[in-house]
Amino acid sequence: MKCAPFEYVRAGSVAEAVTVLRDTDGEGKILAGGQSLVPILALRMARPAVLVDVNRIPDLDGVARNDGSVRIGALTRHSALVAQTEHPLLAEAARWIGHAAIRTRGTAGGSIAHADPAAELPAVAVGCGATVHVAGPAGERSVPATELFVGALMTGLGEDEMITGLDLPVPARWGFAEFARRHGDFALVTAVVAEIEGEIRVTVGGAAPVPVRASRAEAVLAAGGPAAEAGRAAAEDLRPTGDLHGSADYRRAIAGEMVRRALAQAGVGTGAN
């Protein structure tokens, strides 16, 4: 349970971090909160030659309101996401991330880059239609969250790129529901409901390799259908795989119920709108 040796570089700036990454020819890894990376290293599932520690880069954390969205610095810790009040959906979702000693270290950028299918922040990013800001040796680019996640633990980030932050639209109404076997564990299923610019977006995490929009559920709601029917439509659309935490059918049933609960929390599909 000890990591293989690596060279440690403490980056002083984003430019330095991506330059070091470029020079390692794919053998480098960003070390942010380390709450996912360090277990992977300890289990020797990865053996990067160089770790680029970005924790001391100035001005890379914080949550700031910017018109209809919040800008979240990549180094913002989950505990700060819980504490902020600008984006209530984000605060609620972040409460569900890991445990206290994980939230103090884990970062927003790290969670997005790690792209665990069951993680909360990728689901919220897709659910709210976030824009992810990425720096590389050639400069900066912005990627919609819906395009960033390409598979389980896989993103469209280049080996010499790092996330610097994201813009997360603030929903007018929102709901968040998660089912995990124990508080703090990764979710079996997460449901995110967000009303962005008049559109109700329903997103399910944990039931596919990436967070997915439940388009049929959204269509049910757009036609004035009730939350329960939208939940059923969401469940029918999913093709989850079963594992020791739950069979495919069980996950699908839980997903439908989580969507229903998130809609109820948002006050959507209750017949009152």
Partner 1 sequence: MDVTVSVNGEQHRLDIEPRRTLADALREDLGLTGTHLGCEHGVCGACTVLVDGEPARACLMFAVQADGCSVTTVEGLAGDDGTLHPVQEAFVAHHGLQCGFCTPGMLISALHLLETDPDPSRETIRAEMSGNICRCTGYTGIVDAVEAASSTMRDASRPPDRP
Interacting residues with partner 1 (CB under 8 A): 1-8, 10, 31, 34-35, 38-39, 42-43, 51, 53, 55, 79, 98-102, 104-105, 182-184
Q: How far is the CB of 77 from partner 1 (least distance, A)?
A: 9
Return the number of the residue (37 or 145) whose C-beta is nearest partner 1.
37
Return the number of the residue (7 or 59) whose C-beta is nearest partner 1.
7
- The amino acid that residue 181 corresponds to is R
Q: How far is the CB of 8 from partner 1 (least distance, A)?
A: 3
What is the residue-wise DSSP string for 193-254?
EEEETTEEEEEEESSSSS-EE-HHHHHHHHTT--HHHHHHHHHHH--PPPBTTB-HHHHHHH
Strand partners, 205: 190
Return the number of the residue (109 or 269) whose C-beta is nearest partner 1.
109
Q: How far is the CB of 13 from partner 1 (least distance, A)?
A: 18
Closest CA to 47 of 63, 26, 75, 33: 26
Q: How far is the CB of 57 from partner 1 (least distance, A)?
A: 13
Number of H helices, E strands in the chain: 11, 14
How many Cβ atoms are within 10 Å of 64's Cβ, its own excluded? Answer: 12
Whole-Å CA distances, 30 to 2, 26, 59, 102, 157: 19, 11, 17, 18, 12
Q: How far is the CB of 48 from partner 1 (least distance, A)?
A: 11
Return the number of the residue (49 or 248) whose C-beta is nearest partner 1.
49
Asked whether 165 and 151 are in contact (CB, 8 A), the reply is no
Return the number of the residue (69 or 76) whose C-beta is nearest partner 1.
76
How many Cβ atoms are within 10 Å of 158's Cβ, its own excluded? Answer: 16
Segment (H or E) for 120:
helix 120-128
Return the number of the residue (35 or 203) whose C-beta is nearest partner 1.
35
Q: How far is the CB of 141 from partner 1 (least distance, A)?
A: 29
